[in-house]
Structure 1
Amino acid sequence: MTQLGHAVVIGGGIGGLTAAVALHMRGLRVTVLERAPSLEPVGAAISLAPNSLRALDVIGLGDEIRDLAVWSGDGGLRTPSGRWLSRSSADAAAERFGGPLVLLHRATLIASLASRLPPGTIRTDAAAALADSGGTDRPARVSSNGKVLEADLVVGADGIRSAVRHALFPAHPGAVYSGFTTWRVVIPVPGAEFASHETWGRGRIWGTHPLKDGRVYAYAAAVTPAGGQAPDERAELLSRYGDWHDPIPAVLAAARPEDVLRHDVHHIAEPLPAYHHGRVALVGDAAHAMPPTLGQGGNQAIEDAIVLAHHRDDLPAYTAARLPRTTAVARRAVRVARLNLMTNRAGIAVRDTAVATLSKAGPALVLRGFDGIADWRPPQRDAVCSEQTPAGNR
């Protein structure tokens, strides 16, 4: 492939913006096309593990994000009655993986990424379609708002229902329903004092975590048919989780119906044959959407972006580096979903006993779940940084 000059990124989410920053630092002229009227993301938090923080170090953002986030990991797994099955600590996580797990609002991460791009790079209200994937003898072409942009590289970062993915691999079945739905809230909860936790019930889970700005991030998931919606999602949560342990009732009492976001979960069950075709590469959910049960969706998108910038002139090498790893992480996330959303009572009793027993014998199960994931390191990290990297972050 010829030396790259212009990159078009379709999608202004975490993966797309990370790719845009990384490619810009490699000297490319970058255009980001985001179909929404603004970059304001869904109102939820994101957990970043050491693997993605090391990736962000490559573009000089790791320390900034660590400062803006709260270290997570103090807490563990509980039952709906409040009994602890497993305890973990932030220090233990940092020691095990060479860095902390952190939590911050998605809007904070998006703003930090966008601030590293030149003015005019990001175009909102700019729906885009791939017109030609290009090849060794011609550039790729993207149509947007009646104009056609030619690009040496197109990054498909347009999410779980990716039109770019469908254009590249029209025979692929796409994402399938994962069998459960999720709810999320980010709200102040006056007077609430608690340790971060994830609670496993029968076909239901709940998690509560403090953010650095004093608000609380809470999420829930439940096995339910696809497409369900309640007239009042707060009331729906109250009926499902209102009798669970503190601080869950306090969170529900503080939430308003409009604070609650609900989304069915989908994942790509059949891996793509490749993450590239022609001059187009896929990142994030467009390539490997996975259940959120490992908290790795955004983390893997960030990894993708950094590795893509590294292999910008050799997209087959990008596929070779990313497809096996992300497929393995996605399959592990599916297995974890089956475990923590189990509905069989006898199986739940065995599961809870096993979790408690294993946790007494060694590192908490939550930490073990990140082995082989959180210890990932980016390729030739120091070589990827360009002269545009702030000196203090090299």
Structure 2
Amino acid sequence: MSPFSFATVIVAFVVSTYGHDCTKYSLTPSDQSIIDMMKHYLHTSRKADCPVTTSQQDIGVTYVRWGKKTCPEKSDIVYTGQVGGNYYTNKGGGSNWLCLPNDPENGKAYSYSNDGLYGPEYQIHSSNNPSGFPASLYDKEVPCSVCRRKGKVSVLMIADFEWFLEQNVFRIQGISSDNENNNNDKRYHNFKNVKFLTSSSTPAQQDIGVTYVRWGKKACPKNSDTVYTGQAGGNYYGNKGGGSNYLCLPSDPENGNAYSYGNDGLYGAEYYINSGTKPSGLTGSLFQKEVPCAVCRRKEKVSVLMIAGRKSCYKGWQSEYSGFLMSEYKTHHNKDFICIDEDAVPFDDRKSSENSASFYPVRAKCGSLRCPPYKDNTEVFCTFLNLSSLCFKSNAFW
């Protein structure tokens, strides 16, 4: 049997944690070469500050399973729902897909003509369906599930990635198509385990934590540490190209050299919320003022998750902050959907139209997005959730 196997697939890896000692192998020179290479990517903690308890099972990763109403075996369902996104002809608005829960909490109805949140459909028929996909999916709405796999520490989706598997180093427990898809031949495969040789060491409990961005605020929530504070930035709203995501830019930047070339620019972002378009609870005085942000770290938490369509938690989860879904205007050029804090404040008192990146509220739009449970033209709530853990025995990170 050849020591290497090759494959080209789309796959998501889930990395396991173990509470036992490393198995001793008689390594060949080829084995050792692969292990040396993996040391650049795999780091194993070597502390032992907390006892081995059942809390090890609290460690886990979350991911979205697109195209399915259930999670794979051994994964817990956080919630199920329907895929949501921007209208296909909009130049602006949100650029990312969202998994919208089937039990939303709907906001107030508004008539302003800004971004909409729609339900996407499969565009797969007999002439373009990937192998194994039924053409009967055509024009039907796309389900999704947010899943959590306990006892795992990393999750990764790789598209068309070619890799080799070395015997006695790690092994793949099968990779198979599961009839999940996005449009245009984008295929998703089952989440399977990649078993690494790890030690029985334990990281300190206080070293465990999650990071996230709190948009619209200068400080982090209670019990979270502030990594840094700054200002929201992004691409110019009228640019066809350039970055499509918002960034939290630190207030203490290290600036590079000045150049005159006319390529991408990084701009500050402004609220476009006035008395006629503001979500309930926000003030119209935010209009055309810059948007602050804070990068936060919550200790002793093992998962963080943003849910669009809700403002309260699911059982077992705790809220970091809640707010309103926003993005760029529909006739501009698109950026991510993000969650602006429900008590958003301006970066400072300066007010002027700088023609920069923008934040507009998003409304739910019925049609492919099923109503009920959603309601047409209503503001879309959002919330950041965390999940706790006490300690775990061993840990491997990419």
TM-score normalised by L of structure 1: 0.24
The structure where strand makes up a greater share of residues is 2
TM-score normalised by L of structure 2: 0.24
The structure where helix makes up a greater share of residues is 1
- Higher RCO, 1 or 2 (CA under 8 Å, sep at least 6)? 2
